[in-house]
Chain A
């Protein structure tokens, strides 16, 4: 309902408060009239309610918030009126830097499922996010993950990463000889071993699954600092 966007007064419930967005360019008298309309209908809810008056991006005139607040308190017995607590929007880079400085990952709860042992034919392992297997995944076994799959051993079975639609996911193994790999919605049949003894990984590149030498390609070398994956 796009026409509501232009209303001078909009009201919604946020947490335990009523969030009232006003157009501060209008004169106070008109705003009071506009405020009266929804508050008249919500009289029973407004009593003792906490109200946040949000003038939006435009600067509110001096005393406008206070004046309207007093009006709401007098007319509708609302409990408390305040302007929104403003946070300066920061660009992503700044946010990441401050996170780095604060070692944000210290408070990150692990979403990886780490298993040790051998996954045998007919066994199926599912992880909501990343899956790490310290051991081998035999032919006929299946590993399914919402994020990456890392096999510290031989990957001989089927690995399905990035389910359902995470195309950034990778599948990595010290010995990469899968029957089949799937990342997001893409499927690739396993290829014969490349012969090298180094770990390899599969990722999506130009809408196709490609397999590369992990050490040579070093897919995360361009990240400026460690990130939670």
Chain B
């Protein structure tokens, strides 16, 4: 097997990298792919909590790299979703304990085992970022429709290009009402500045907060707009790159409302 290594990054913290990683990972696993998600935020691990697997951690990525355990021993299998595995970060170490060459070694091992490996990159562009992008084949840049997030994403895109990685963009936490009022940048403004391929648009959704806190995958909730958006992003990554991107703003049209009332599938964001 020769799987893909995809790094999920953003530059700025708190834009939803971890949620995106967990959600796309779960969505692809539900679509039948063998998926590993790796928490690269050494010292500040979160991905285990978002996935509800924190109480099952015995070994972590640093243990694997330093040879204290086998890769298989450290990978935690999700009990709800087949084929979804987590390699957690160490909470007690420092990002500098991992070197880029360690990542090349680890990713080569993961490529053989999994169809998709997602690396949840830490915020910032320092060692942790460099480690995460070292062996990545593709990159997903997560950005919120706000100026500071765009600026950091832009910086990260420049750095990814310099490593010959062509990133794709997810615009996260769009609030259509605010965009319509003109109080929030639209995804078009974001794409205009960043000028990279759009992978998906994710609406602000309270269900994401709840599912993160309870450790349940948002993509399993069919009522959640964000969950459905993540499902479609996963499909675009897995052989359906042309699946049309739906504009959250366009849902306000009367035909869409009528369609929803007449019993068509809800929440097709």
Residue A120, interface by CB 8 Å? yes
Q: A121 to B195, Cβ gap below 8 A?
A: no
Residue B234, interface by CB 8 Å? no
Residue B199, interface by CB 8 Å? no
Among A118, A140, A156, which residue has its beta carbon within 8 angstroms of that of B155? Answer: A140
Residue A122, interface by CB 8 Å? yes
Q: B158 to A139, Cβ gap below 8 A?
A: no
Q: Give the nearest-CB partner of A139 in chain B.
A: B151
Interface size class of A (residues with CB under 8 A): 10 to 19
Among B154, B157, B159, which residue has its beta carbon within 8 angstroms of that of A139? Answer: B154
Q: Give the nearest-CB partner of A135 in chain B.
A: B195
Known contacts A118-B195, A139-B193, A156-B193; is A123 also within 8 Å of B158 by CB? Answer: yes
Residue A138, interface by CB 8 Å? yes
Residue B150, interface by CB 8 Å? yes
B contacts with A: majority SS: helix
Known contacts A138-B193, A139-B193, A156-B193; is A121 also within 8 Å of B155 by CB? Answer: yes
Q: B155 to A122, Cβ gap below 8 A?
A: yes
Residue from the set B147, B150, B193 with the largest chain A CB neighbour count within 10 Å: B193
Nearest CB of chain A from residue B252's CB, rounded to whole Å: 27
CA distance A136 to B158 in the complex (A): 13
Q: A122 to B158, Cβ gap below 8 A?
A: yes
Residue B152, interface by CB 8 Å? yes
CA distance A140 to B157 in the complex (A): 13
Known contacts A120-B155, A121-B155, A122-B155; is A139 also within 8 Å of B195 by CB? Answer: no
Q: A139 to B155, Cβ gap below 8 A?
A: no
Nearest CB of chain A from residue B119's CB, rounded to whole Å: 21
Q: B147 to A120, Cβ gap below 8 A?
A: no
Q: B151 to A140, Cβ gap below 8 A?
A: yes
Nearest CB of chain B from residue A209's CB, rounded to whole Å: 23
Q: Quick one: CB contact mask for B104-145 with A, threshold 8 Å, 1 for yes?
A: 000000000000000000000000000000000000000000
List A121-149 residues whose CB lies under 8 Å from chain B: 121-123, 136, 138-141
13 pairs, CB–CB < 8 Å, chain A vs chain B: A120-B155, A121-B152, A121-B154, A122-B155, A122-B158, A122-B159, A136-B193, A138-B154, A139-B154, A139-B193, A140-B154, A140-B155, A156-B193
Please list the residues of chain A having a beta carbon within 8 angstroms of any beta carbon in chain B: 118, 120-123, 136, 138-141, 156
Please list the residues of chain B having a beta carbon within 8 angstroms of any beta carbon in chain A: 147, 150-152, 154-155, 157-159, 193, 195
